[in-house]
Amino acid sequence: MTDKKTGMRKGLTKYGDEGFSLYLRKAFIKGMGYTDDALDRPIVGITNTFSEYNACHGTVPQLIAAVKRGVMLAGGLPVEFPTITIHESFAFPTSMYMRNLMSIDTEEMIRAQPMDSVVLIGGCDKTVPALLMGAASAALPAILEVTGPMLPGSHRGERLGACTDCRRFWGKYRADEIDLEEIAQITDQLVPSAGTCGVMGTASTMAIIAEALGMMLPGGACIPAVLADRYRHAEQTGARAVHMAKDGSPAPDKVMTADAFHNALTVLQAIGGSTNGIVHLAALAGRLGLTLDLNEFDKIGRNTQVLVDLKPSGENYMDDMHKAGGTGPLFRELGDMLHLTALTVNGKSLGENIDDLPPPFDQEIIRSKQNPVAKSGGMAVLKGNLAPDCAVIKHVAASPELLNHTGKAVVFKNMEDLVNRIDDPDLEVDKDSVLVMQNAGPKGAPGMPESGYLPIPKKLAAAGVKDMVRISDARMSGTAFGTIILHVAPESAVGGPLALVKDGDLIKLDVENRTLDVLISDQELAKRRANWTPPTPHAGSERGYSKLYQDTVTQAPEGCDFDFLQARK
Ligand code: FES
Q: How far apart are CA 482 and CA 453, in angstroms?
A: 8
Q: What is the pLDDT of residue 2?
A: 43
Query: Pick from 134, 142, 131, 273: which is nearest to 200 by CA?
Result: 273
How confident is residue 1, by pLDDT bands cut at 50, 70 and 90?
very low
Residue range 121-177, pLDDT digits in tens: 999 999 999 999 999 999 999 999 999 999 999 999 999 999 888 988 988 898 889
Q: What is the CA radius of gyration of the chain?
A: 24
Q: Is the pLDDT of residue 4 over 60?
A: no
DSSP, collapsed to helix, strand or coil, labels residue 172 as helix
Residue range 10-25, pLDDT digits in tens: 999 999 999 999 999 9
Is the minimum distance from the CB of 190 to ligand 1 under 6 angstroms? no
DSSP, collapsed to helix, strand or coil, labels residue 44 as strand
Q: How far is the CA of 94 from the centre of ligand 1 (A)?
A: 13
Q: Which atom of ligand 1 is nearest to the CA of 89?
A: 3
Residue range 59-114, pLDDT digits in tens: 999 999 999 999 999 999 999 999 999 999 999 999 999 999 999 999 999 999 99
Is the minimum distance from the CB of 263 to ligand 1 under 6 angstroms? no
* Average pLDDT, rounded, for the chain: 95
**Can you list the positions of beta strands (E) in 433-492?**
434-437, 469-472, 484-489
Q: Which atom of ligand 1 is nearest to the CA of 125?
A: 4
Residue range 225-281, pLDDT digits in tens: 999 999 999 999 999 999 999 999 999 999 999 999 999 999 999 999 999 999 999
DSSP, collapsed to helix, strand or coil, labels residue 389 as strand
Q: How far is the CA of 56 from the centre of ligand 1 (A)?
A: 6
Q: What is the pLDDT of residue 190?
A: 95
DSSP, collapsed to helix, strand or coil, labels residue 37 as helix
Is the minimum distance from the CB of 124 to ligand 1 under 6 angstroms? yes
Q: How far apart are CA 517 and CA 210, in angstroms?
A: 34
How many C-beta atoms surround the C-beta of residue 48 within 10 A? 17
Q: How far apart are CA 451 and CA 418, in angstroms?
A: 10
Q: How far apart are CA 356 and CA 354, in angstroms?
A: 5
Q: Which amino acid is at 213?
A: L
Distances (CA, A) of 196 to 55, 126, 190, 460: 8, 11, 12, 33
| Average pLDDT of the residues in 340-346 | 98
Q: How far is the CA of 290 from the centre of ligand 1 (A)?
A: 28
DSSP, collapsed to helix, strand or coil, labels residue 380 as strand
Residue range 212-224, pLDDT digits in tens: 999 999 999 999 9
Q: Dihedral of CA 241/243/249/250: which sign? A: negative
Q: What is the pLDDT of residue 147?
A: 98
Q: Which amino acid is at 514?
A: R
Q: Dihedral of CA 372/374/379/384: which sign? A: positive
**Can you list the positions of beta strands (E) in 370-483?**
380-384, 387-393, 404-412, 434-437, 469-472
Q: Which atom of ligand 1 is nearest to the CA of 162?
A: 2
- pTM (predicted TM-score): 0.96
Q: How far apart are CA 109 and CA 247, in angstroms?
A: 21
The residue whose CA is least distant from atom 2 of ligand 1 is 197
Q: Dihedral of CA 198/202/205/210: which sign? A: negative
- Per-residue b/e over 370-392, b at no fewer than 16 CB within 10 Å? eebbbebbbbbbbbbbbbebbbb
Query: Best of 60, 196, 310, 475 to mutate for ligand 1, by most ligand atoms within 8 A of CB?
Result: 196
Q: How far apart are CA 287 and CA 251, in angstroms?
A: 13
Q: How far is the CA of 15 from the centre of ligand 1 (A)?
A: 43
Q: How far is the CA of 207 from the centre of ligand 1 (A)?
A: 12
- Residue ranges and CATH numbers for the domains of the chain are 41-151+193-355 (3.40.50.2300), 153-187 (no CATH), 380-535 (3.50.30.80)
Is the minimum distance from the CB of 439 to ligand 1 under 6 angstroms? no
Phi, psi of 54 (to 5 degrees): -120, 95
Query: Best of 87, 126, 475, 479 to mutate for ligand 1, by most ligand atoms within 8 A of CB?
Result: 87
Strands 506-510 and 515-518: antiparallel
DSSP, collapsed to helix, strand or coil, labels residue 471 as strand
Phi, psi of 322 (to 5 degrees): -60, -45
The residue whose CA is least distant from atom 1 of ligand 1 is 124
Q: How far is the CA of 195 from the centre of ligand 1 (A)?
A: 8
Is the minimum distance from the CB of 474 to ligand 1 under 6 angstroms? no
The string of DSSP letters for 101-169 reads: HHHHHHHHHHHHS--SEEEEEE-STTHHHHHHHHHHHHTS-EEEEE--BPPPEEETTEEE-TTHHHHHH
312 or 196, which is more confident? Answer: 196
Strands 387-393 and 380-384: antiparallel
Q: Which atom of ligand 1 is nearest to the CA of 55?
A: 1
Query: Best of 49, 51, 56, 317 to mutate for ligand 1, by most ligand atoms within 8 A of CB?
Result: 56
Residue range 458-513, pLDDT digits in tens: 999 989 999 999 999 999 987 778 999 999 999 999 999 999 999 999 999 999 99
516 CB-near residues (< 8 Å, 6+ apart) = 382, 383, 384, 386, 387, 391, 471, 485, 488, 507, 508, 509, 510
Is the minimum distance from the CB of 257 to ligand 1 under 6 angstroms? no
Q: How far apart are CA 237 and CA 78, in angstroms?
A: 12
Q: How far is the CA of 88 from the centre of ligand 1 (A)?
A: 6
Is the minimum distance from the CB of 203 to ligand 1 under 6 angstroms? yes
Edge-to-edge order in the sheet of strand 77-82 = 77-82, 43-48, 117-122, 142-146
